[in-house]
Structures are given as C-alpha cells and as structure tokens.
C-alpha cells in the first residue's frame, strides 16, 4: 500500500523540483545570458506591459472568424517570451510544465516521422505558438493587476459579442451553413453565432467565460465591477443556450457542476452549520428540476436534447459516427506517433479513409484527434499533463480555502473551465480553433500561475537512525 502511494505521488510529480531540474538543463543554463543588458533595456522593462497589450489585442481579434491576425500576434508573443528567456526574467518552471514539454517533444518527433511531414510542420508551428502564448500568460497572470486586466478585457469583448448574438436571436441570422437538419423539428430555429459565423464555435468560446465571470463577481472589490461581471455572465449564459450547441451544453453542465461545488466550498464559512450539509444537494436538486422543466416545456430545447439519443437518424450524429469510424482506422494504421499535428496533415490523410464521400475538418473528438496526431504516446502524455495539472490545482485550491485568499477563486474558474472544455472536446474539435485554443491556455495559466514551485520533501530520520 505504501509503495502504491509512493508511485502515485511520483506520477503526480508532487515531490519533483522543476526548478532544480531546469537549472541543470541546457536551456536553463543558457537562460539569462543577456541578463546584464536586460537590466538597462527599456524594452525588457516594459515587456510585461507589451505582453498585456498583445493579449488584449488577441482577445479583440479573436472575436471575428479570420485567424490571420491571431497568428501574427502569437508570433509577437513568442518573441516577447524569447526575450524574457534570454534576459532571465521568465517565471520559474513548474512540475506541470514537464509533461507539457514532453508532449511538445513527442509532437515534434511525430512531425519529423509523419507520412506528410510538410503538412504536419504547419500544425507543429501552431502548437509551438500556442504553448509560447501559454507561457507568456503564465508569467503575466502571476501579477494580480495583470490578471484583472487580462480577464476584464476578455469579458468586455465577450459582452460586445453577446449583444450582437442577442440581436441575431431577436432579428434573425443568416444560415451560413446547415447548422440544423432541415427535416427536423428545429428547422427555422435561429442558432446564434455572433461574429464567429459558427454556433458550435461560439458555444465553445463562451464556455470558459462563464466561470471567469462568476469568479470575477466574488473577486473584484468594487460593486460596479461586480454588477458588470454579473451582467456579462448572464448575457454569455443566455447566448450559450441560444447557440443550441449540444457539445457546448454538455461542457456547460460539467463546468457549472464543478464551479457550483467550488463556490459552495468557498462560501460555506458564511452559512449556518446546519445548512452546510444540505446546500449542495439542494442546489443540484433545484438545477436538475429546472433543467427537466426546461426540456419538457421548451420545444426547441427538448428536440435538441432528444437528438442526442437518435443515433444515426440524426444527420449530425451520423456524420460524426462516420468520421469517428474513419479516424479509428487511421489510428490503427499510425498507432505509435500518429500522422503529425494540425488540420493540414489531417486533410491530406483523411480522404484515404473517409466514408460517405463527405470531407471533415477534424476528428470531432479531442481525445481521438490527440491520438491521431501524436499517437498513443502523445495522447497518454497529454493525459498525464491533465492529471498533474488538476492534482496540483486542487492542492492550491485547498490552500486558498485555508487562507481565504480571494485570488484563489481564479483557480476554481480555471479548473471548471478546463473540465468543461474537455467535456465539450469529447464530441467536437473547436478546441483547436485559435479563438478557443488560447482560452484553454488562459484557463490553464489561471491554475499554474497560482502554483508555487515544488520543494522536494526532506527525509526525516526515524528513531533507529535510518531514513524513513
């Protein structure tokens, strides 16, 4: 039993010193080679403010379907990150960065050995830029002031998108694609998509914003800011429902359940002792009753939920089942390292396996996509990263509960957002779109930026003088 517990702690890297490992690595020894110049450089001194400006700019451009400007902004973020590495101003690495770095290395190897290496190189570059953006967010969010600016600017952008989404609902929106089966009872129902021109993408975009808004209500001290956060969260929630995105709804149920549990834990100290035991069951019972009444009384909602259980009768289900079957065949042929990262590599290989003569943009499942792109080795490594991330995030959340530090609620928001986005990712791959991908890394950064570097546990001698 003790050996199993020790193995579990080793798997979760609870006693691993990432900082000591980094200092002994080649990259760690090269870091700070321009430290002397950085102390006197105006550019380096202003790098955090420049990075914040780039992040806000990214949020602004992510509110529209074109992704070209987002790539340029990510390149600028990577340049700022590289400058920080050379001048030694980067934050200390964490244990969660070890499996993440290993996943990037496996993706690099998968690119080199890909059956379509030139196509996979495009996906590898995108992955590298996303990870650079995450590391920059991790550095910025360690400062509460930058954290407020980062989240606040994102919520304001989402408000503009939400107002336009509500306008589409009341005044109608052009059907840019066959979002609803024309033969179903939902034909003619408006699915809002705001400026993103895709309701599933818009639903995935809104998913992490709900817990961010809820956390902001508790964290921001001014009542005006609290009311604004509450209003934005309400607008985003309504728009999420009006996307009629089943995958986003599944993610929302997971996200809201986790966020409810964490908020009840946070506010339990303010409740009478006799209420604490029943608060959570009462909230979940009330939520379940509300959901059941909504399904029974709102026809579009009922039809959309029923379509989940129609199997191949529903055209969207049938299309996904065909894609999943083809992807499983691709994984069978490339099980170790996959075909390489990115949608370009996917589009080169998928036509050889597709069914029904219908092309696909991706695997419509993040676990399948990870396995297809980087093989079982890469998907298991990413699962390890998630395990370490949630374990260390949970430890920090418990510390925040003990200290009553309100900034810890950002950890709760990050945990709920990541869980919800992964649940959505089981049945869709909008997670890979630039508008959503950086929101995922923002949620991850909210968790990791609050984690203190681990210090190896010191062994204490027992009574016999031997190490325990």
- 3-state per-residue secondary structure call for the chain: CHHHHHHHHHHCCCCCCHHHHHHHCHHHHHCCCCHHHHHHCHHHHCHHHHHHHHHHHHHHHCCCCCCHHHHHHHHHHHHHHHHHHHCCCCCCCCCCHHHHHHHHHHHHHHHHCCCCHHHHHHHHHHHHHHHHHHHHHHHHCCCHHHHHHHHHHHHHHHHHHHHHHHHHHHHCCCCCCCCCCCCCCCCCCCCCCCCCCCHHHHHHHHCCHHHHHHHHHHHCCCHHHHHHHHHHHHHHHHHHHHCCCHHHHHHHHHHHHHHHHHHHHHHHHHCCHHHHHHHHHHHHHHHHHHHHHHHHHCHHHHHHHHHHHCHHHCHHHHHHHHHHHHHHHHHHHCCCCCCCCCHHHHHHHHHHCCCCCCCCCCCCCHHHHHHHHHHHHHHHHHHHHHHHHHHHHHHHHHHHHHHCCHHHHHHHHHHHHHHHHHHHHCCCCHHHCHHHHHHHHHHHHHHHCCCCCCCCCCCCECCCCCEC
Predicted confidence (pLDDT) at residue 374 exceeds the cutoff of 80: yes
In the predicted model, what is the mean pLDDT of residues 114-138?
A: 95
pLDDT band at 181 (very low <50, low <70, confident <90, very high): low
pTM for this one? 0.89
d(CA 298, CA 18): 52
- Which of 132, 120, 27 is CA-nearest to residue 343? 120
pLDDT number for residue 330: 95
Rounded to 5°, angle at Cα 24 from 389 and 41: 85
Domain spans, the chain = 96-448
Q: Give the CA-trace dihedral at 411, 414, 417, 418, to 10 degrees.
A: -120
pLDDT number for residue 461: 40
pLDDT band at 89 (very low <50, low <70, confident <90, very high): low
pLDDT band at 460 (very low <50, low <70, confident <90, very high): very low
Q: What percent of the chain is predicted at pLDDT more than 70? A: 85
pLDDT number for residue 278: 83
pLDDT number for residue 309: 77
User: What are the phi and psi torsion angles at 139 (to 5°)?
Assistant: -70, -45
Cα 307 from chain centre:
27
Cα distances (Å, whole numbers) of residue 422 to 59, 302, 360:
21, 24, 20
In the predicted model, what is the mean pLDDT of residues 157-178?
A: 85
In the predicted model, what is the mean pLDDT of residues 71-86?
A: 88
Higher-confidence residue of 94 and 24: namely 94
pLDDT number for residue 184: 63
In the predicted model, what is the mean pLDDT of residues 183-191?
A: 70
In the predicted model, what is the mean pLDDT of residues 36-45?
A: 64
In the predicted model, what is the mean pLDDT of residues 290-294?
A: 87
pLDDT number for residue 252: 95
d(CA 10, CA 15): 7
Predicted confidence (pLDDT) at residue 463 exceeds the cutoff of 60: no
- Which of 33, 26, 32, 12 is CA-nearest to residue 98? 12
In the predicted model, what is the mean pLDDT of residues 345-374?
A: 90
User: Cβ neighbours of residue 324 under 8 Å, at least 6 residues apart?
Assistant: 363, 364, 365, 368
d(CA 87, CA 79): 12
Higher-confidence residue of 40 and 406: namely 406
Higher-confidence residue of 7 and 117: namely 117
d(CA 81, CA 6): 36
Q: Which of 33-37, 101-105, 416-420 has the lowest mean pLDDT?
A: 33-37
* Mean pLDDT over each residue of the chain, to the nearest integer: 86
pLDDT number for residue 30: 56
Predicted confidence (pLDDT) at residue 17 exceeds the cutoff of 80: no
Q: Could you tell me if 345 and 119 are in contact, meaning their C-beta atoms sit under 8 angstroms apart?
A: yes
In the predicted model, what is the mean pLDDT of residues 87-113?
A: 86
pLDDT tens for 238-254 read 999 999 999 999 999 99
pLDDT number for residue 29: 54
Total Cβ atoms within 10 A of residue 145: 10
pLDDT number for residue 468: 27
In the predicted model, what is the mean pLDDT of residues 168-184?
A: 70
Q: 432 is written with which tokens?
A: 């890979």
pLDDT number for residue 280: 83
Predicted confidence (pLDDT) at residue 224 exceeds the cutoff of 70: yes
Predicted confidence (pLDDT) at residue 33 exceeds the cutoff of 70: no
Cα 20 from chain centre:
28
Q: Which of 40-44, 74-78, 322-326, 366-370 has the lowest mean pLDDT?
A: 40-44
pLDDT number for residue 459: 39
pLDDT band at 114 (very low <50, low <70, confident <90, very high): very high
Higher-confidence residue of 45 and 452: namely 45
């Amino acid at each position: 039993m003790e050996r199993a517990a020790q193995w579990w702690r080793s798997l979760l890297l609870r006693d691993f010193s990432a900082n000591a490992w980094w200092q002994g690595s080649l990259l760690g020894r090269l870091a700070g080679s321009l430290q002397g110049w950085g102390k006197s450089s105006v550019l380096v001194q202003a790098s955090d403010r420049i990075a914040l400006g780039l992040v806000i700019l990214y949020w602004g451009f992510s509110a529209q379907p074109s992704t070209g400007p987002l790539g340029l902004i990510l390149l600028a973020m990577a340049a700022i990150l590289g400058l920080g590495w050379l001048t030694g101003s980067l934050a200390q690495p964490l244990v969660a960065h070890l499996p993440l770095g290993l996943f990037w290395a496996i993706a690099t190897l998968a690119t080199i050995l890909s059956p379509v290496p030139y196509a996979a190189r495009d996906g590898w570059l995108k992955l590298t830029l996303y990870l650079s953006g995450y590391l920059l967010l991790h550095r910025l969010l360690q400062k509460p002031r930058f954290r407020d600016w980062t989240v606040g600017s994102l919520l304001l952008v989402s408000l503009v998108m939400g107002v336009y989404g509500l306008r589409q609902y009341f005044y109608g929106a052009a059907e840019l694609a066959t979002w609803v089966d024309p033969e179903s009872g939902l034909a003619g129902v408006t699915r809002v998509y705001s400026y993103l021109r895709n309701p599933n993408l818009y639903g995935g975009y809104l998913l992490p914003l709900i817990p961010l808004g809820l956390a902001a209500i508790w964290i921001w001290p001014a009542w005006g800011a609290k009311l604004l956060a509450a209003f934005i969260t309400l607008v985003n929630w309504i728009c999420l429902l009006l996307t009629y995105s089943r995958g986003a709804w599944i993610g929302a149920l997971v996200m809201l359940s986790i966020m409810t549990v964490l908020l009840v834990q946070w506010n339990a100290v303010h409740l009478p002792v006799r209420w604490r035991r029943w608060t959570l069951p009462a909230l979940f019972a009330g939520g379940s009753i509300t959901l059941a009444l909504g399904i029974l009384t709102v026809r579009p909602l009922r039809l959309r939920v029923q379509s989940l259980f129609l199997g191949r009768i529903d055209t969207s289900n049938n299309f996904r089942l065909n894609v999943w079957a083809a992807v499983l065949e691709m994984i069978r042929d490339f099980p170790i390292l996959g075909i390489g990262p990115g949608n370009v590599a996917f589009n080169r290989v998928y036509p050889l396996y597709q069914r029904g003569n219908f092309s696909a943009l991706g695997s419509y499942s993040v676990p399948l996509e990870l396995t297809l792109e980087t093989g079982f080795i890469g998907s298991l490594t990413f699962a390890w990263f998630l395990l370490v991330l949630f374990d260390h995030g949970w430890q920090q959340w418990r510390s925040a509960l003990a200290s009553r530090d309100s900034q810890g609620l950002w950890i709760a928001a990050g945990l709920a957002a990541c869980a919800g986005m992964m649940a959505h990712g089981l049945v869709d791959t909008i997670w890979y779109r630039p508008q959503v991908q950086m929101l995922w890394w923002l949620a991850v950064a909210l968790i990791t930026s609050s984690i203190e570097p681990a210090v190896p546990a010191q062994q204490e001698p027992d009574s016999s003088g031997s190490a325990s």
